[in-house]
């Protein structure tokens, strides 16, 4: 018998993973309860830990735990998180090991009072700032890059919170959609490039901010608009104020949010994820047509794009792969090896659909290629006559420094293999990726997207020092190994 | 703040629920580990408890617990379940409260040695037999109807296990797909009507039996054929024997297995569930066409049928409703009521898909109608212009006595409302159900199906006594309330 | 690093262990809550599982779990156990493996309605009865001997519960203090020999029955008298009735209850345990005097007797050994062996007390002698000049068949070694045991005691069949190994 | 039914409680495992949380959790804490709420590398330092005063760790026995007054430091001497160095360690706790004799002193009160009030010992007097004819600022009541406290003790600011209420 495997940690490592979802609630009774609904709806963005900090304008109440939102919180705990304001966070760790201590929102005492913050994104100069802050006497108790923001705030020379926040944010580089909370006010900020999404909604007399609009839907809040790249929103007694405190910068919205991460029922960057995915499929069908009998998707992230491909090509869409939603934390493999076990616990091919057919398989991206290879085997075993792989993104060749857990350069199959080599590795009849132009066309030409993981053109270039910083931050404490829970 | 809600227990009560999945493994090393994979793949058939009994021909090892297969078992526990033979069970309770004590497989000592059994189905005369057995001195320690079989075995006058089993099974009525295990042999039996499915597969030199073929797929076993209605298979040292010990009877395969329960990647009753669902959708499109812009499904059980409807009607298929797979055990609603909260934690409508559209919503069945009503509201809020409900089964008017947790007669909306009344209750533009003939055509006319929940024609009629028995068994111990775990 | 050790299971195995405490409450509001207090006070009699069954005269509510009373029950669970009548049980398993399924009180359905029973003691003919019952068609779902009683009740030909109970009890042999509960009545029975204690108390208009009076004290109940050997008390609407349904028999009260098991603040067999222990020490001082500087005890069970020894001998009593009360379930030993580790996690010697002194060590009994040998080493390391062991019981040479977990004959050091050999094994200057007459004198000559473990004179002789039965029952299912929890 | 009560939090609040035990291990294989044994032996000093940090000279490994040492650690977790050096801590919170985040040892990153510290004691100027540190840009993530030390270290201008440590410690006031660890070295420091104990031991080629010598005994380490007040020991590759970096100060050893906290088998302040307690009892017998029949103690802390009283007075010692060791976390009281419930779940009086007797009750101290009052009632109910309370310490009138959880001034019965009023409140025949001189005589006149809680003479006087600081620190975050676990 093999040792237990955690599919989240190992088998699925080849999937890009978003690090967090955040939600903030201002001036709504039972704010913590709504914040809870918000991160419940954002669980696809991270299931390792969940936390909420609320305030009744006197104290900041915090509860956080490892695991899924529903496992961490219960009715009794939510009841203790009183007040009309709350921020919440669920995360999958990209930087910082999987410790409870790293769970957000962070809460800390400082010169500026008791503060709390929740961060989605990744800071490219966190390690350098950390080392500088340590030199000036700061101590770090977590391994998340977000802790740096707390120290910058506390060390700022500004004489009020807003000033301190602007001063601090001007020092950090990289990707951040950020929620902060004092006893009196909530702040929502999006970095000047706008890498990660952040949506603004209304509910009754209050406001809601969340990574995706699906979190607004579950709260019965109305989507107003996005927090703009470089915008800071301040929610306090005097209402809502919008400030643009940063130098102008190019927009660099993460196109992977459309391709893979976001829920298809969300609006992201003020567009429907569903519609963009339909377009991705349609353009791919035009760019890379192939004669075949059916179009299937690798569920669930590619379902909509496959439908688009089918629509454009006229080749019928079918559900040839079924995905299990019961995987859970551990999975035990017998000693006797089972073929393609890692893929089998997640997918099953339907022979009656694919048998004897020329099959187009639409998938969102290829990282290492190992899972796709197993899926191909499953489809062949189920009788597929031909297999044509169609990817709704370009070749993923470069690491992401802005908050997406893409494998390192050396592990990405496309960074060291030609298209033909990948085709052979997957043992398929043909393979095609969508062009960068095709992706951007689907996502809307009127906006500017970050395509660094495909092109290597990093909008926030990493100097030598930053590159080292980033990798150091990633390794930081990596072998801490054990921690409390 | 409202009390925690368990969506499994309350919100989703309107969904019919299969009570169990079973899997048996004979003559395969690490049998328990394969049995574990089997019930992992069958989790859609029950997630309240999971158990495995294995044997090394000397002792019978048992482990069972409340919860999902992955939560109940870990590597260390599976390692203790040694031997080449194992039977496994996961259940959602239809009869018998949700106690650990009720978890199957049952293991007990008797005149015939140590025995174990796992049962999928529902016995219609369990209560009567229970009362008779009590009168003759038996004591009952669980509230599941399956315990009756153990007592009948122990009290049989036959001088070997096989004889005792046949004698016992001749006394029980109703639905049973059954696995039994002694130290030396495994038995797989399907009731003469064949209500519930049971598939037979091969793996290397061993055999596998499971409720659905998806369990065979994950074990890399090859599907051979179904255990036939009324067939008993005996697996022992001398090989496999097939016996038909019961009086001939009509086949009455449960058509609901196709419509709702079984996984679309399974073969059930020797047919592809996927193909049958495509047919259900196609025939429904022919029986009840309507002019509209898009076809959507209530995911996931109706996805395939909706595709069939789209294919036949030519109206494009879209994914207008997204389903959350993170629901978990409890869900906390704010005190401030959220509209259609119960449906919202499970579904979200995509405005960009349905807005301004005439929408055909394909669903598998309507029990109470409450969820559908909420979904309709969600679709209207998302901007749907017209809503046309199409159901891939007939009107569910009658309770099921053969193992499906259909609400009681009085709770079923179709048992007391006309089609028009249901349409008004749901507030939709049109509604149509598939005819019984249409269902049977989709499932294949060459077989005979049970359609009792639609027609009231019960293949195993309940006499007055049996009716009382059934309801008594259901109520039995119902208020026991608390139990160990 | 060594594997975790459970001191309860391994290190302390040499201690005799009582198998259970029982408590019953009749006609007291919140009966389950008082039953809980009762078994809380009786935890020294068993900490492996705890359970309570209550009734409101309609249903029987049950909750049981593995672990200590406080860990198994909480306020919410007690609240569900409604009603004015309850029986409770905590156990350390002497027969039957440590499964949740074996936790008592048992609850079952039968011809006589829903019944519940809690048993302290050990039946000497359980295995034989079990085999007979299996032959007549009973199935056994636990491995505890008490289940036999349930089957006998259900199979009795008597036409009421009381008759059935008498008929059943007439068939069982061995030791039992028993509580039974129907919807209407509670029954307390003590076997004709009276092996195990059972005390009767009053509280307001209700009644309390418990293994020891310390359970009455915590409930604020007043001790009335013992349930007499061979007496059955029936508590129902018409009041309390006393019946003596069995043939007369000799009294054979377990003298070990005084020596080791019972709490010193309890009345047992209508005498003060504390006073008897003082006498045990005094008589031992007269029987086996020795010149020495101090008297110390092996805490806590020997504290009072050591005080008695000191009082009679005039040699000052000191607390030379300290006992840790934090042991808990597991204890991890380093790979580098620590001398006498097993004893060290439980005891520590005080050098300032024993250094340079001639020390009399009073202990209650010697089973294997391994712990005493380690304690002797600790005392020598702490500087003791001479060590004289004095045991407040006779040499334990024989197994107990009446409910005490004494090691088997072959493991008892006194069954195969002379006094001098034991002295040499323990490496002490002298050793003496109390005489059987001395023990009985301390416990009061007016009563008759069982001294089988010292003398081999078994009051309920085991025929060949019974001996086999007993050992079979002990081994039954022993390797079942894994079970639900 | 009443709500669950946590006797640790509520009922026993009247007992003074030591805040922590610490243990450090240097140059011993499996260091974490020995540190674990150390804090296991020190559990009487705190059971709310337990933690260990170890190092293999490369990384610092940390694990901490809420609960008892045995519940927090298991074999697998200890195995991950590799290395030859480890520090460990168990705590009962005196300052800082009961959050996992507050569990020690703390580990943090700083200018000086990764550091860890474990602290026993209480800083009297923590709040002021905290506010100063916040002003200079530090952020605080816990509510324990010990965090201040980490910040001072990080902000020190010294260019090596030792210098930074001395500089930092010169800024803090109050009580501290401290262990620190870097990748290369371990530091043990005791404040100049020596409030709290700290013992040094040898084991093979390594060193052990622990709060009490009982921790050395369980590790088979040899007690060498105490770490001296004002001494810093540095353990590194070059061996052990002793430094006295602080200004000379008066010794002010906590006399309460002898009276109540320490284990009787420990050496504290280089004297036997057992011997001091015998003396406390003897001197009390001389100072406050009374005619009576028996001497009993309130177990366990007063057992030895009661023996001393008996020895000196010639009045026989008896065990008239039994203490339960099974209390656990929660305890549920019935709605029907039980007399003296809070004391009853912990103590029971033995009627056969006290009935008809004139009883001297020896206890270590009186805080609020509520428990003693209940115990007196229990003894009277058990038949005691006269009750004479004798306290082995002086009247506790003042709060402790050096690490002992004594109730506030206003809650201490002796701060507002005369001896006669206390006697009347307890309803006893006589009462007497030991004189301050008597305590100091028992503890040894050659040393100087802190008697602030009796006399109000605080060795480290609290200026107005410090007093406020102390109380602020205590209240800090008090209502944070909820936190992760």
Q: Is residue C436 part of a domain?
A: yes
Q: Backbone phi, then psi, for B22, in 5-degree steps?
A: -130, 150
- Tell which residue, A187, A194, A183, has the closest CA to residue A209: A187
Residues A203 and A301 occupy one common structural domain: no
C56 touches B: beta carbon within 8 Å: no
Say if the Cβ atoms of C138 and B154 lie within 8 Å: yes
Q: Which pLDDT score is estimated for A460?
A: 86
Give, to the nearest 10 degrees, the angle between helix D126-135 and helix D147-155: 40
Residue of B nearest to A341 (CA): B218
Contacts of C454 (CB under 8 A, 6+ apart): C393, C394, C395, C396, C397, C398, C436, C439
Residue of A nearest to B6 (CA): A70
Look at residue B43 and tell me whether its pLDDT is greater than 80: yes
Q: What is the mean pLDDT of each run of 10 residues along chain D (485 residues)?
A: 37 48 97 96 90 93 88 89 96 63 90 95 90 95 91 94 97 96 97 97 97 96 97 97 94 96 96 98 98 97 97 98 76 78 91 98 95 96 97 95 82 95 98 98 94 93 58 45 38
Give the pLDDT band of residue C5 (cuts 50, 70, 90).
very low
Question: What CATH number corresponds to the domain at position A125?
Answer: 3.60.20.10
Say if the Cβ atoms of A484 and D103 lie within 8 Å: yes
- The mean of the pLDDT values for chain C is 89
Beta bridge partners of D23: D88, D210
**Euclidean distance between CA atoms C104 and B320, whole angstroms:** 54
User: How distant, in Å, are the alpha carbons of A261, A266, A349, B143 from that of A302?
Assistant: 11, 15, 15, 45
C141 touches B: beta carbon within 8 Å: yes
Bond preceding residue B438 cis, omega within 30 of 0: no
Q: Is residue B283 part of a domain?
A: yes
Residues B281 and B342 occupy one common structural domain: yes
- Tell which residue, B331, B330, B266, has the closest CA to residue B301: B266
Q: Which pLDDT score is estimated for D9?
A: 35
Active site residue D20: yes
In the predicted model, what is the mean pLDDT of residues A145-171? 95
Return the partners of chain C (3 or more C-beta pairs < 8 Å).
Answer: B, D
Q: Which pLDDT score is estimated for D407?
A: 80
Q: Which pLDDT score is estimated for C475?
A: 45
Residues A248 and A292 occupy one common structural domain: no
User: How distant, in Å, are the alpha carbons of B167, B214, B397, D392 from that of B409?
Assistant: 34, 32, 6, 76
Of the listed ranges B155-159, C341-345, D250-254, the least confidently predicted one is C341-345
Residue among D3, D34, D334 minimizing CB distance to C33: D334
Look at residue C18 and tell me whether its pLDDT is greater than 60: no
Where are the strands (E) in C341-460, listed by range? 347-349, 358-363, 386-391, 430-433, 449-450
**Euclidean distance between CA atoms C251 and C249, whole angstroms:** 6
- Name every chain C residue with its beta carbon within 8 A of the beta carbon of D306: none
User: How distant, in Å, are the alpha carbons of C169, C361, C374, D260, D282 from that of C346?
Assistant: 41, 16, 11, 21, 29
Give the pLDDT band of residue B349 (cuts 50, 70, 90).
very high
Q: Is residue B285 part of a domain?
A: yes
Say if the Cβ atoms of A319 and B327 lie within 8 Å: no
Query: Over pLDDT 90: what percentage of chain A?
Result: 74
Q: Is residue C32 part of a domain?
A: yes
Residue of C nearest to B107 (CA): C141
Which of A48, A83, A116, A139 best tests the D interface by mutation, with the highest count of D CBs <10 A?
A139
**3-state SS class at D450:** strand
Cβ burial, residue D67 (10 Å; 0-12/13-18/19+): middle
- Name every chain A residue with its beta carbon within 8 A of the beta carbon of B37: 334, 338
Contacts of B304 (CB under 8 A, 6+ apart): A319, B264, B274, B277, B278, B281
Residues C281 and C160 occupy one common structural domain: no
Residues C94 and C219 occupy one common structural domain: yes
C79-92 pLDDT per residue, tens = 989 999 999 999 87
C316-335 pLDDT per residue, tens = 999 999 998 776 655 677 88
- Strand pairing of A222-226 and A49-55? unpaired
Q: Is residue C288 part of a domain?
A: yes
Look at residue C463 and tell me whether its pLDDT is greater than 70: no
- The mean of the pLDDT values for chain A is 89
Under 8 Å CB pairs connecting chains C and D tally to: 164
Q: Is residue C45 part of a domain?
A: yes
- Name every chain A residue with its beta carbon within 8 A of the beta carbon of B41: 324, 348
**Euclidean distance between CA atoms D91 and D18, whole angstroms:** 8
- Tell which residue, A19, A163, A14, has the closest CA to residue A90: A19
Which of B117, B151, B482 best tests the C interface by mutation, with the highest count of C CBs <10 A?
B482
Residues A172 and A287 occupy one common structural domain: no
Residues A301 and A234 occupy one common structural domain: no
**Euclidean distance between CA atoms D327 and C41, whole angstroms:** 10
Domain count, chain D: 2
Residue among A80, A107, A135 minimizing CB distance to D481: A80
Residue of A nearest to B333 (CA): A33
Give, to the nearest 10 degrees, the angle between helix D273-287 and helix D436-443: 150
**Euclidean distance between CA atoms C27 and C221, whole angstroms:** 13
Give me the sign of the Cα torsion angle C69, C72, C74, C77.
Answer: negative
C150 touches B: beta carbon within 8 Å: yes
Q: Which pLDDT score is estimated for A47?
A: 82
Say if the Cβ atoms of D30 and C336 lie within 8 Å: yes
Question: What CATH number corresponds to the domain at position A394?
Answer: 3.40.50.2020
B284-304 pLDDT per residue, tens = 999 999 999 999 999 999 999
**Euclidean distance between CA atoms B208 and A48, whole angstroms:** 36
Q: Is residue B460 part of a domain?
A: no
Q: Find the length of chain B.
A: 485
Q: Which pLDDT score is estimated for C337?
A: 76
**Euclidean distance between CA atoms D297 and D363, whole angstroms:** 6
Bond preceding residue B129 cis, omega within 30 of 0: no
Say if the Cβ atoms of B332 and A75 lie within 8 Å: yes
Residue among D30, D218, D327 minimizing CB distance to C344: D218
Residue among C41, C78, C348 minimizing CB distance to D265: C348
- Name every chain D residue with its beta carbon within 8 A of the beta carbon of C335: 29-30, 33
Contacts of C416 (CB under 8 A, 6+ apart): C410
C365-414 pLDDT per residue, tens = 999 999 999 999 999 999 999 999 999 999 999 988 888 878 878 889 99
Give the pLDDT band of residue A5 (cuts 50, 70, 90).
very low
Residue among A218, A272, A331 minimizing CB distance to B345: A218
Q: Is residue B4 part of a domain?
A: no
Of the listed ranges A90-99, A225-234, B5-14, B291-300, the least confidently predicted one is B5-14
Residues B239 and B363 occupy one common structural domain: no
Give the pLDDT band of residue B17 (cuts 50, 70, 90).
very low
Look at residue C32 and tell me whether its pLDDT is greater than 50: yes
Q: Which pLDDT score is estimated for B469?
A: 54
- Tell which residue, D267, C274, D302, has the closest CA to residue D310: D302
Note down the domain range covering B162. Answer: 17-252
Q: Backbone phi, then psi, for B95, in 5-degree steps?
A: -120, 140
Return the partners of chain A (3 or more C-beta pairs < 8 Å).
Answer: B, D
A237-266 pLDDT per residue, tens = 999 999 999 998 999 999 999 999 999 999
Residues D109 and D210 occupy one common structural domain: yes
**3-state SS class at D17:** coil
D319 touches C: beta carbon within 8 Å: yes
Touching A: B residues 212-271, CB under 8 Å: 214, 217-220, 263-265, 267
Residues B398 and B321 occupy one common structural domain: yes
Touching C: B residues 32-51, CB under 8 Å: 51
A406-443 pLDDT per residue, tens = 887 888 999 999 999 999 999 999 999 999 999 999 99
B302-339 pLDDT per residue, tens = 999 999 999 999 999 999 999 987 766 556 778 877 88
C270-310 pLDDT per residue, tens = 999 999 999 999 999 999 999 999 999 999 999 999 999 99
Residues A241 and A278 occupy one common structural domain: no
Estimate the share of chain C in helix, then strand, then coil, as percent rounded to the nearest 5: 35, 25, 40
Give, to the nearest 10 degrees, the angle between helix A436-443 and helix A273-287: 150
Q: Which pLDDT score is estimated for D476?
A: 45
ipTM: 0.91
Catalytic residue list of B: 20
- Name every chain B residue with its beta carbon within 8 A of the beta carbon of C81: 482
What's the angle, vertex CA C129, arms to CA C124 and CA C131, rounded to 5?
120
- Residue D307's Cβ-side half-sphere holds a number of Cα atoms within 13 Å equal to 23
Give the pLDDT band of residue C67 (cuts 50, 70, 90).
confident
Contacts of C17 (CB under 8 A, 6+ apart): C46, C92, C94, C404, C405
Residues C290 and C352 occupy one common structural domain: yes
Say if the Cβ atoms of A140 and D110 lie within 8 Å: yes
């Amino acid at each position: 018998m093999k040792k237990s495997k955690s599919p989240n940690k190992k088998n699925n490592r080849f999937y890009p993973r978003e690090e967090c979802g955040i939600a903030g609630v201002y001036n709504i009774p039972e704010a913590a309860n709504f914040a809870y609904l918000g991160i419940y709806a954002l669980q696809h963005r991270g299931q390792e830990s969940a936390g909420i900090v609320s305030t009744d304008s006197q104290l900041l109440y915090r509860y956080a735990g490892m695991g899924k939102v529903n496992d961490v919180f219960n009715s009794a705990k939510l009841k203790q998180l009183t007040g009309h304001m709350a921020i919440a966070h669920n995360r999958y760790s990209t930087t910082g090991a999987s410790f409870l201590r790293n769970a957000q929102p962070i809460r800390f005492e400082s010169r500026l009072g008791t503060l709390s913050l929740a961060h989605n994104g990744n800071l490219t100069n966190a390690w350098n700032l950390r080392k500088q802050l340590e030199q000036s006497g700061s101590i770090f108790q977590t391994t998340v890059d977000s802790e740096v923001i707390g120290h910058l705030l506390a060390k700022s020379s500004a004489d009020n919170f807003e000033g301190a926040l602007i001063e601090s944010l001007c020092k950090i580089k990289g990707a951040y959609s950020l929620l902060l909370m004092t006893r009196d006010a909530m702040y929502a900020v999006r970095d000047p490039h706008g890498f990660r999404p952040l949506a603004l909604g209304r509910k009754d007399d209050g406001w809601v901010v969340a990574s995706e609009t699906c979190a607004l839907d579950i709260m019965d809040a109305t989507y107003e608009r996005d927090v703009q790249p470089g915008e800071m929103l301040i929610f306090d007694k005097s209402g809502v104020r919008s400030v643009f405190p940063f130098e102008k910068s190019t927009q660099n919205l993460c196109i992977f949010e459309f391709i893979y991460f976001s829920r298809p029922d969300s609006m992201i960057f003020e567009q429907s994820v569903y519609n963009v995915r339909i377009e991705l499929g349609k353009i791919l069908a035009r760019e890379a047509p192939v004669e075949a009998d059916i179009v299937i998707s690798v569920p669930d992230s590619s379902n909509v794009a496959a439908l688009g491909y089918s629509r454009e090509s006229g080749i019928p869409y079918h559900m040839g792969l079924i995905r299990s939603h019961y995987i859970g934390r551990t999975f035990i493999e017998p000693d006797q090896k089972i073929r393609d076990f890692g893929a089998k616990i997640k997918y099953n091919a339907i022979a009656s659909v694919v048998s004897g057919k020329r099959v187009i398989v639409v998938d969102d991206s290829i990282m290492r290629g190992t899972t796709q290879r197993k899926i191909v085997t499953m489809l062949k075993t189920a009788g597929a006559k031909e297999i044509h792989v169609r990817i709704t993104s370009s070749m993923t060749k470069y690491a992401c420094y802005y908050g997406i857990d893409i494998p390192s350069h050396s592990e990405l199959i496309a960074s060291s293999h030609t298209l033909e080599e990948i085709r052979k590795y997957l043992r398929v009849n043909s393979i095609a990726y969508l062009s960068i132009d095709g992706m951007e066309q689907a996502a809307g030409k009127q906006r500017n997207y970050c395509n660094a993981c495909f092109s290597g053109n990093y909008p926030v270039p990493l100097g030598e020092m930053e590159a080292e910083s980033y990798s150091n931050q990633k390794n930081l404490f990596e072998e801490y190994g054990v921690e409390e829970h």
